Structure 1
């Protein structure tokens, strides 16, 4: 016995199948943020002091720069996924929903790019 309507069976219509992928992506980014966050805290605790010079020299290490970039990128992407769910659930007007989603994606892209650029600028040495 199927719960699908006869028209749905004939036309092959049904769920888009995107919800599970979104859910899994949120969970994977959550686990990645926990692991990256633990690495970050442990790495900072291991520094002799928290001075600007010490932290910037720590960021010059390629491994640390890559891990920080991953932390920033994963955090921004996880944030986008979470805010997207809120907009989809609570914004009822279709036009407002599209405008909100585009604005949020743009803002998150800019934040991610600025964060990763900042890490790389410090890692490679800044001109200023």
Structure 2
């Protein structure tokens, strides 16, 4: 027998017992993407149309490589959380829900890893 009120039992739990955490991480990642996107897009836009050598020179700089990796990692983590919310809101069949969540996790993870690998390859191997 619990002596807690219904509100005390439900506070901070949500349907998956992690709703507040998920909400905060989604908001923080969206805020982090603002400066990261600016720091990523401006140098990248300057290298557009200048050829392969310009991109190699740009991402051989550790600052630009780290910014690119952080932007890719945060963007795909943010994408995954957004997809998770949409899938949980609109897919109600348990089997389809599990398949869709797994597919979204695999897609965002694979694309994020491919992006990080590409930047690391450019930064270290040229």
TM-score interval w.r.t. the shorter chain?
Answer: 0.7 to 0.9
User: Are 1:33 and 1:74, in contact at CA under 8 Å, matched by a contact in 2?
Assistant: yes
How many angstroms apart in 2 are the aligned matches of 1:9 and 1:95?
Answer: 34
Match runs of 1:76-87 below 5 Å? 76-87=76-87
How many angstroms apart in 2 are the aligned matches of 1:48 and 1:113?
Answer: 23
Q: Which residue of 2 aligns with 1:55?
A: 55
1:100-122 deviations in Å (ceiling 9; x for gaps): 11111111111111110000001
Normalising to structure 1: TM-score of the pair? 0.81
Q: Which residue of 2 aligns with 1:69?
A: 69
Q: Which structure: larger Rg?
A: 1
Normalising to structure 2: TM-score of the pair? 0.82
Mean alpha-carbon deviation: is it higher for 39-48 or for 68-77?
A: 39-48
Match runs of 1:27-42 below 5 Å? 27-42=27-42
How far the C-alpha of 1:49 sits from its partner, in A, is 6.6
Q: Which residue of 2 aligns with 1:98?
A: 98
Gaps of 5+ in 1: 1-5
How far the C-alpha of 1:69 sits from its partner, in A, is 0.5
1:59-90 deviations in Å (ceiling 9; x for gaps): 01111111110011111001001100000000
Aligned-partner SS, 1:55: helix
| 4+ long deviations beyond 3 Å | 6-10, 44-50
How many angstroms apart in 1 are the aligned matches of 2:110 and 2:26?
Answer: 20
* C-alpha distance 24-50 of structure 1, shift in aligned 2 (>3 A): farther
Q: Which residue of 2 aligns with 1:3?
A: none
RMSD of aligned alpha carbons: 2.4
How many angstroms apart in 2 are the aligned matches of 1:106 and 1:45?
Answer: 29
